[in-house]
Chain A
Amino acid sequence: QSVLTQPPSVSAAPGQKVTISCSGSSSNIGNNYVSWYHQLPGTAPKLLIYENNKRPSGIPDRFSGSKSGTSATLGITGLQTGDEADYYCGTWDSSLSAGVFGTGTKVTVL
């Protein structure tokens, strides 16, 4: 029952590009910063993108973020087998006064 909707899965061959969408509303994505996380099996989530499109130090520029209106997108180029993980978007919802995460997307490298 998350307020942010992501596709359950995306896949592509090594070296290709994938995009993951995160759809929300004006009370969350539309008026607040979006961040993106990936979670490798059995590990804690890791921040990939913050403030819509900024990368923390150490995150390669293969990862990019964008936002338009009430949707956000994570792009991964030059896909690697190590990118196989679950990916989540997150933001604040001003109406709920609560943090919200997306439903999660599993990335598979074919």
Chain B
Amino acid sequence: EVQLVESGGGLVQPGRSLRLSCAASGFTFDDYAMHWVRQAPGKGLEWVSGINWNSNNIDYADSVKGRFTISRDNPKNSLYLQMNSLRAEDTALYYCAKDRGEQLWLQGLDYWGQGALVTVSS
């Protein structure tokens, strides 16, 4: 059974940092691209960042570029999102999601975690 479990969310002050982790199981992790997608309270889905199977191709939404860094550790079946210089508008539920393909092109996100809540507030 495929499982994606996010951790690391919480309340953080503006300008501070937070690191999200996503532990994957039930599939061959290094065969697939992975993504972070967020959803602000009462709002729609926003793609945040994606990383292909071997970390050679990484992209970010303009809203987080230069502040967030995605990475993966294939031997540990883990995905990460380092979030720096956090802003109030980064407040959201952050989902880890598995792509059907090995590249970034959103071929279909077939498994999602339950999300990690990040609240940026003073």
Chain A contact residues, CB within 8 Å of chain B? 2, 32-33, 35, 37, 39, 44-47, 49-51, 56, 86, 88, 90-92, 96-104
In the bound complex, do residue A103 and residue B44 qualify as a contact, i.e. CB atoms below 8 Å apart? yes
B45 touches A45 (CB 8 A): yes
Which residues of A are found within 8 Å of B44, using beta-carbon distances? 2, 86, 88, 101-104
Shortest distance between the CB of B10 and any CB in chain A (Å): 19
**Contact A92:B109 (CB < 8 A) given known A99-B50, A101-B47:** no
Asked if B27 is an interface residue, CB under 8 A from chain A, the answer is no
Which residue in chain A gives the minimum CB-CB distance to B110?
A47
Besides the contacts A2-B44, A99-B104, what 5 more A-B pairs have beta carbons closer than 8 Å? A35-B107, A88-B44, A96-B62, A97-B59, A104-B45
Smallest CB gap from B45: residue in A: A101
**Residues on B with beta carbons closer than 8 Å to the beta carbon of A33:** 105-108
State A47–B35 Cα separation when bound (angstroms). 14
| A residues in contact with B95, CB < 8 Å | 44-45
Docked complex: B100-117 residues within 8 A CB-CB of A: 100, 104-110, 112-115
Interface residues of B in 77-122 (CB under 8 A from A): 95, 97, 100, 104-110, 112-115
Q: How far is the CA of A41 from the CA of B121 in the complex (A)?
A: 25
The interface residues of chain B lying within 8 Å CB-to-CB of A103 are 44
> Which residues from A are CB-within-8-Å of B107?
33, 35, 50-51
Q: Is the CB of A47 within 8 A of B108?
A: yes
B32 contacts which chain A residues (CB < 8 A)? Answer: none
Minimum C-beta distance from B64 to chain A (A): 10
Interchain CA distance A98-B105 in the complex, whole Å: 8
- On whether the beta carbons of B61 and A98 are closer than 8 Å, the reply is yes
Among B46, B62, B109, B113, the residue within 8 A (CB) of A35 is B109
